[in-house]
């Protein structure tokens, strides 16, 4: 791979993560491709999962804070007929349901079960999640053989749609899920299997959307990542209303001054040259800076691009 120049411009990368590698592996590849160690991501995907992983480069990592908590959309396959120790295909399978038990699980029952996990629900996270227990990740404790029982937490599942049901030795159910940040699709698979009395676990997972950003706009890891970064201003303007600044206003905001800003809500403040100056919130007629984005030293900002459909 050709070396990227040092100190590249700040930007956002939408990557379509392949199966079999960690989110940290993707970050490592991006660091090498764009020539900087300052790369972070918004929302981990398990090695088994594929799909949209959003990376921030250099100063644009500050924007990740405003992306990580956005709602998500996934497509997944739930296998009914056996639970697993990890609630997915990477764990050890537990007792299998008898063929008669599977035969009694109708398509109508599967769809009705999914409805029961729609809306605001209390969900018990998987024991192999990244949640910390007494300072250690739950998955690390589980691998050590320690008992892990995580407290249920409130999540919102806006849609739990059954797309297809395929019957063979097992019952494979293809689903589409829209949910709040922090929802575990593995836990939905486990709980649906428990509800139907046959056990269940996840065999495939793909993240198709984060907030307004869709995986259709993502690039593969084999593409020249340094050339595919999106301008922070373009991404921020997909999250918040755009506030076009005059040159003096851009200078004042950069120096910490509160410029006049009527109305309410968060805005993406953008300089006349197209650079993201900051995220600001209108408070009592003035702009309060939530996050500032200093200009990149001796670099050309990445071009503005369409980053995804608004929802």
Q: Which residues are catalytic?
A: 46
C-alpha R_g of the chain: 22
Distance CA 107, CA 113 (A): 10
Residue 159 is encoded by which pair of tokens?
Answer: 């849609």
What's 219's DSSP letter? B
CA 221 to chain centre: 17
Neighbours of 152 (CB within 10 A): 11
Please identify which residue in the block is written with the tokens 């007792």.
95
CB-based contacts of 266: which residues, under 8 Å, 6+ apart? 240, 241, 279, 280, 281, 290
296 class by beta-carbon count within 10 Å (0-12 exposed, 13-18 middle, 19+ buried): buried
CA 208 to chain centre: 9
Contact 282, 265 (CB under 8 A): yes
């Amino acid at each position: 791979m050709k070396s990227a120049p040092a100190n590249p411009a700040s930007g956002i990368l939408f990557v379509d993560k392949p199966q079999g590698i960690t989110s940290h592996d993707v970050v490592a590849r991006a660091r090498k491709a764009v020539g900087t160690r300052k790369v972070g991501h918004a929302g981990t995907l398990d090695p088994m999962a594929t799909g949209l992983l959003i990376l921030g480069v250099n100063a644009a990592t500050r924007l990740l804070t405003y992306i990580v908590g956005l709602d998500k959309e996934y497509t997944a396959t739930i296998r009914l007929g056996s639970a697993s120790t990890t609630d997915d295909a990477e764990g050890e399978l537990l007792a299998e349901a008898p063929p008669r038990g599977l035969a009694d699980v109708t398509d109508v029952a599967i769809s009705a079960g999914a409805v029961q996990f729609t809306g605001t629900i209390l969900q018990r996270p998987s024991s192999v999640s990244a949640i910390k227990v007494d300072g250690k990740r739950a998955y690390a404790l589980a691998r050590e053989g320690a008992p892990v029982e995580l407290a249920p937490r409130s999540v919102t599942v806006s849609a739990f749609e059954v797309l297809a049901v395929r019957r063979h030795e097992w019952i494979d159910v293809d689903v589409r899920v829209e949910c709040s940040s922090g929802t575990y699709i593995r836990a939905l698979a486990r709980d649906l299997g428990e509800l139907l009395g046959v056990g269940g676990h996840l065999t495939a997972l793909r993240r198709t959307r984060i907030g307004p950003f869709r995986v259709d706009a993502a690039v593969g890891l084999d593409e020249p990542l340094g050339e595919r970064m999106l301008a922070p201003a373009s991404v921020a303007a997909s999250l918040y209303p755009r506030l076009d600044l005059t040159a003096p206003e851009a200078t004042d905001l950069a120096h910490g001054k509160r410029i006049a800003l009527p109305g309410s809500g968060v805005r993406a403040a953008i300089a006349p040259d197209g650079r993201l100056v900051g995220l600001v919130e209108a408070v009592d007629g003035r702009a309060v800076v939530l996050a500032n984005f200093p200009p990149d030293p001796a670099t050309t900002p990445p071009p503005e691009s369409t980053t995804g459909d608004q929802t």
